[in-house]
Amino acid sequence: MPSDVSLASYIDHTLLKPEASREQILAVCAEAVEHSFKSVCVNPIWVSTVHTAVKDSGVLTCSVVGFPFGATPTEVKVFEARGAVADGADEVDMVIDLAAARAGNYEALVLDIRAVAEAVHEGGAILKVILETSQLNDDQKVLACRASVEAGADFVKTSTGFNGGGATVEDIALMRRTVGPDIGVKASGGVRTLADARAMIDAGATRIGASSGVAILKGEQGASGY
């Protein structure tokens, strides 16, 4: 477990509410710069705003693709990913095809993820793959993790925060065992306290997605919402 100071570098400071205003986005950016969070994670419409606001601070810009359901055609996810990277995203978090995962369709998962991974990597960014673990059983989680690795993803991630459930220590441990030591694992959804964050990192998480990053660092209880 890192020190509380280095914990900030694990956190993707997140504001994905569709009604978020420009003022709220800029406030999140200011918090991220002040506390040296790893990134600010926002919907695609705000990528250029965040990129400008955090420029030269060391804070990365992160966006989402196929969010929050993943139920869009691969070519649309690719288009969205390329647009986000062109607008300044350093990282892209995509939602998998949940129907394919639940059906055990490994090939469909690989093809969907690989196409987005190639588009993201062409732009010099990295790809995190959101499994939406609350909607999958353990076999399906393992299948999705293995597909993500084969497809060239840089991270696997638990949740969108918009479809029930969230990160659990058990899921993080399962994901880490499945992907091995060289792929990132991001815990997101319901991580609201310092104890939550420490538990996830101890289980194998290398990134924390949270809207409560400031509260986490202060040892306070974060509010619900993402």
List, by residue number, the catalytic residues. 93, 157, 186
User: Which residues lie closer than 8 Å to 189 by C-beta, 6 or more apart?
Assistant: 134, 158, 159, 160, 161, 165, 166, 167, 209, 226
In whole angstroms, give the CA distance from residue 96 to residue 161: 14
Please state, as a whole number, how many other Cβ atoms lie within 10 Å of the Cβ of residue 10. 22
In whole angstroms, give the CA distance from residue 126 to residue 85: 10
Q: To the nearest 5 percent, what fractions of the chain are helix, strand and coil? A: 50, 15, 35
Contact present, 55 and 82 (Cβ < 8 Å): no
